[in-house]
Amino acid sequence: MADSWTSPGWDVHLDWHPGTGRQGLADALRRAIREGRLAPGTAVPSTRALAKDLGVARGTVTRVYADLTTEGYLRTSQGAPTRVAAINPATPAPEKTGPRAAPWVPDARWDLYPGRPDLSSFPRAAWASATRRVLQEAPANVFDYGEVHGSAALRESLARYLSRSRGVVAEPDRIVVCGGFSHALTVLCHVLRERGETSLAFEDPSLPQIRENASRAGLRLAGVPVDEAGIQVSLVDNPAVVVTPAHQYPLGVTLAPERRTALARWATTTGGLVIEDDYDGEFRFDRQPVGALQALAPDRIVYTGTVSKTLAPATRIGWLVLPRSLVEPVRAALTATGWRPPTLDHLVLADMLDSGAYDRHVRQRRTTYRRRRDRLLSLLPKGFQPIGISAGLHLLVLLPPHLTEAEVIKAALRESVAIDGLGRHWFAEGEHPQGIVLGYATPAEHAFGPAVEALMRALGQFSSGPG
**229-259 pLDDT, tens digit each:** 999 999 999 999 999 999 999 999 999 999 9
Say how far apart CA 353 and CA 347 lie, in whole Å.
10
Beta strand pairing call for 273-277 and 301-306: parallel
Helix (H) or strand (E) segment spanning residue 13 = strand 10-16
Of the candidates 104, 150, 84, 466, the residue with the CA atom closest to the CA atom of residue 334: 150
Of the candidates 173, 235, 100, 230, the residue with the CA atom closest to the CA atom of residue 222: 235
Q: What is the mean pLDDT of the chain?
A: 89
Q: Over the stretch 331-373, which tens digit does the pLDDT of each residue have?
A: 999 999 999 999 999 999 999 999 999 999 999 999 999 999 9
CB atoms within 10 A of CB 174: 21
Q: Residue 9: what pLDDT?
A: 40
Contact 384, 365 (CB under 8 A): no
- pTM of model > 0.85: no
Q: Domain map of the chain by residue range?
A: 3-84, 110-115+365-460, 124-355
As a three-state string, the secondary structure of 392-411 is CCCEEEECCCCCCHHHHHHH
- pLDDT above 90: residue 7: no
Output b/e per residue, 35-59; b: 16+ Cβ within 10 A: eebbeeebebbbbeebbebbebeee
| Torsion over CA: 188, 192, 198, 199 (sign) | negative
Say how far apart CA 284 and CA 436 lie, in whole Å.
21
Say how far apart CA 441 and CA 112 lie, in whole Å.
8
Q: Measure Cα distances from 353 to 91, 160, 161, 312, 459 in Å.
A: 43, 9, 7, 15, 41
Instruction: Give, as one character, the DSSP assignment of residue 284.
Output: B
- pLDDT above 50: residue 406: yes
Q: Residue 466: what pLDDT?
A: 57
Output b/e per residue, 326-355; b: 16+ Cβ within 10 A: bbebbbebbeeeeeebbbbbbbbbbbbbee
Instruction: Give, as one character, the DSSP assignment of residue 36.
Output: T
Domain 124-355, architecture per CATH: 3-Layer(aba) Sandwich (3.40)
- pLDDT above 70: residue 91: no
| Comparison of pLDDT for 102 and 187, the residue scoring more | 187
Mean local confidence (pLDDT), 8-23: 67
Q: Residue 102: what pLDDT?
A: 62
Largest CA distance in the chain: 80
CATH number corresponding to 3-84? 1.10.10.10
Domain 110-115+365-460 in CATH 2.60.40.290: no
Q: Measure Cα distances from 293 to 232, 261, 415 in Å.
A: 15, 9, 41
